[in-house]
Amino acid sequence: MEMNKGQRLYKLAKKLIPGGTQLLSKRPEMFLPELWPAYYKKAKGCEIWDLNDKKYTDMSYMGIGSCILGYTDEDVDQAVIKVIKEGTMSTLNAPEEVELAKLLIKLHPWAQMVRYARTGGEAMAIAVRIARAKSKKDLILFCGYHGWHDWYLSANLADDKALNGHLLHGLSPLGVPRSLKGSSFPFQYNDIESFLKLIHKYKNEIGVIVLESIRNVYPIKEFFETISNEAKKINAVVIVDEVSAGFRLNLGGAHLLFGLEPDIAVFAKGMSNGYPMAAIIGKKEVMKVAQDTFISSTYWTERIGPAAALTTIKKLIEKNVPKHIGDIGRKVQEGWRLLANKNNINIEISGIPPLGHFSFKYDNPLIIKTLFTQLMLEKKFLASTAFYASYAHKDQHVKKYLEATDETFNFISRAIKEKCPEKYLKGSICHSGFQRLT
């Protein structure tokens, strides 16, 4: 059997880099321990070449949601190459920052000012800092996943399972100052009661309310209305996190679709096709407080991010990419449904069309998930129980993927009937959520 060069490198990586990778969701253990190709040589459209030069079609996370147009998009890359040639850093500022601010404000008429960062988590930390500075109150209520920063992980100091319902399980707050205990509290999406309970308990101490515009289910109208109304009553700043959802359902933040008018909205992975960029946009009276607190970093001034974002957003508009990824995502979700029925497999599908998921409804879901990934990899697909659609995914990719899924579900169905699906695994079972690598 051919040696997996990626796995050999990953073994070394785990000795040199604690946790192996910089992002939990890119750990090979999250997909197929010991067998996942782990590293790439080249990526184009929705295809990836591993270190052994094997080519796969990515029907999984597309750079964990960062490549909405597809890998190495020609237009975005040309814009980036242009600024690389002209200089991506200098003592003076990048004019693209201003053009991008104008474009973001045009798409979000409720906002008047913009700041930039380069990653989703840090942009959220900036938004929270501005919101606390504006409200002059420390306490945060939040819903959803918002990154690795102290303000967020501190919720797990009071209750180590507080964050479990918010995308990633088992996030450890070790190293987060214990003095932050009791400074942020989670509520559940669409659960008005859980939100109001916290409002009644902490009322005027609450300075910030943070939520994702959408993750797995569409919002109930009253949920957003209640948040807006209560925030006004207690003078709390509302931050909507569009890091994952932004630009996927529509041209801009998904909150625009649902009639939620926040004070701040935060964008990152949907806006710049794989080049680091993040934006914090907001109402003038809130954003101008960013001048009264120190928020400043050298590399937030580099030029690649704004150049990539401008070209990406213009292309999203020109090609109506949200419609394309919605159509492709719906076809994949419909395929999962039909093929699961056909092969007698019990799955539950969730997520918005461009960011779809399914889970195997069995006592041993991780074994079956691992087997699915293993069998799909053998058919040259990077696949897991999620599909993030990109503009590079076309009908022919979906067709081939669903043919492979049909065969794989059929195999799994027989393995389940035999009552011992694990005997087909060639490595160990995939991880779920955060855990230490041994």
Ligand X SMILES: Cc1ncc(COP(=O)(O)O)c(C=O)c1O
List interacting residues with ligand X (CB under 6 A).
119-121, 124, 144-147, 212, 241, 243-244, 268-269
End-to-end Cα distance, the chain: 26
Please report, as a single letter, which amino acid is at residue 107: L
Nearer to ligand X, 143 or 316 (CB): 143
Shortest separation between residue 147's beta carbon and ligand X, angstroms? 4
Nearer to ligand X, 165 or 427 (CB): 165
Please tell me the distance from the alpha carbon of residue 292 to that of residue 277, in angstroms, as a whole number.
23
Nearer to ligand X, 244 or 408 (CB): 244
Contact 260, 300 (CB under 8 A): no
Could you tell me which of 433, 392, 428 has the C-alpha nearest to residue 59? 392
Shortest separation between residue 304's beta carbon and ligand X, angstroms? 16
Please report, as a single letter, which amino acid is at residue 213: S
Shortest separation between residue 211's beta carbon and ligand X, angstroms? 10
Most distant pair of Cα atoms in the chain: their distance: 67
Nearer to ligand X, 27 or 331 (CB): 27
Nearer to ligand X, 127 or 416 (CB): 127
Shortest separation between residue 170's beta carbon and ligand X, angstroms? 16
Shortest separation between residue 181's beta carbon and ligand X, angstroms? 22
Nearer to ligand X, 31 or 401 (CB): 31
Shortest separation between residue 408's beta carbon and ligand X, angstroms? 27
Burial class of residue 380 (count of CB atoms within 10 Å of its CB; 0-12, 13-18, 19+): middle
Please tell me the distance from the alpha carbon of residue 164 to that of residue 145, in angstroms, as a whole number.
10
